[in-house]
Structure 1
């Protein structure tokens, strides 16, 4: 798997029969191998942007380019070899084993109903090993914990051998330990990654760049330490935000309160 640049140029999207865009003109570029965090209040347009990035919806304006190529100039099969997504919605009880689910990631590389070949199995084995899932390979998906399920879904995406990985709220509904496991996984994948997060402090800790959205409008894009000012966070989330610098680690942490 080799990471690629992701360029988003003037993309916007408006639902059918609606006069108001859900996502207004948005432009940014992520260099290969960097992690972008997309943050903002509920209804900000985060999920809409992600759907445009993994080619579920076509933007009404603009382009999404991976490695300089417009994803809508590709067939769906070819696009699936460049972009993979892990969504919030998971089936609660796949009647499949972990290995069978991860093998589904090889579908874009097979013709018709052809069975998985040796290369496919080698890729599956490699991904299972990378994500420490070999011991769970023959377990039924429904018997796994939330954190284990999330790792399996990431493994299925990695089996596509994508250049760009999209993660929609990957820590949602996970306990603290499993959240930390998923974040550690994100940091070591080495792909170009776009991840939507509710936790602003987590985004600042994990991401190389942050895109802030509010009411479908971009509010800012850049490295979190430079971009995330008290005022910008306060205005975006309608809370009183104050960044505190931690003397021992040198990191910073936002605390929040309601406005009086």
Structure 2
């Protein structure tokens, strides 16, 4: 798997042409191998943007390019070799084992109803090894914990051999330990990654760049250390945000409180 650049140019989307856009024109670029975090309050347009990136919904305007190629100018199979997604909603496993779930990731690389070949099985084996899933390979997916299931879904995505990986709220509903496991995974995959996150402190710690959305409008894009100011975070999330430096590491951490309701938002 070799990461590729991602360039998004003025993409927007609405349910119907006459409707108010859910996502207004948005542009950004991610260099190969970097991690972009998409943050914003509920209803900001984060999931809508991700759906445009993994080709679930077509932008009404604009382009999405991976390695310079427009993903909507290629067929769905070729696009699935470029971009893979791990969603919040995990599909029913229908009694499949972990190995069988991961093997599904090879589907875009097979012709028609062809069975898995030796090359496919080598890739499945390597992905199970990378994510430390071999001890669970023959377990029924439905018997796994939430954190284990999340690792399996990431493994299935990696089996597609994508250049860009999209993660929609990968830490949602996970306990602290499993959240940390997912964060570690993100940092060590070596792919171009776009991840939506609720936790600003996690985004600042994991991501190379951050895109902030509010009500479908981009509020800013850039490195979290410079972009995520008290003023921007307070305005976007309608809270009183304060960034603090943590000693001795020098890392920063946001604390939040409800704003004084007499103050303008």
- Write the distance in 2 (CA, Å) between the matches of 1:68 and 1:98: 34
- 1:177 aligned partner: 177
1:156 is paired with a residue whose SS is helix
- Write the distance in 2 (CA, Å) between the matches of 1:83 and 1:69: 12
- 1:215 aligned partner: 215
1:26 is paired with a residue whose SS is strand
2:85 is paired with a residue whose SS is strand
- 1:102 aligned partner: 102
- 1:4 aligned partner: 4
Q: TM-score, normalised by structure 2?
A: 0.97
Q: TM-score, normalised by structure 1?
A: 0.99
Unaligned ranges ≥5, structure 1: none
- Structure 1 consecutive aligned stretches of length 4 or more whose deviation exceeds 2 Å: 91-94
- Write the distance in 1 (CA, Å) between the matches of 2:120 and 2:193: 23
Contact 2:93 2:101 in 1 (8 A): no
- 1:71 aligned partner: 71
Q: How far did 1:12 drift?
A: 0.5
Question: Aligned-residue CA RMSD in angstroms?
Answer: 0.8
- 1:120 aligned partner: 120
Deviation readout 1:80-103 (Å, 9 max, x if unpaired)? 000000000013553100000000
Name the count of aligned residue pairs.
260
- Write the distance in 2 (CA, Å) between the matches of 1:178 and 1:169: 13
- Write the distance in 1 (CA, Å) between the matches of 2:105 and 2:185: 18
- Write the distance in 2 (CA, Å) between the matches of 1:255 and 1:15: 36
- 2:152 aligned partner: 152
- Write the distance in 2 (CA, Å) between the matches of 1:174 and 1:130: 21
- 2:23 aligned partner: 23
- Write the distance in 2 (CA, Å) between the matches of 1:117 and 1:219: 47
Which runs of structure 2 are paired with 1:161-240 in the superposition (5 Å)? 161-240=161-240
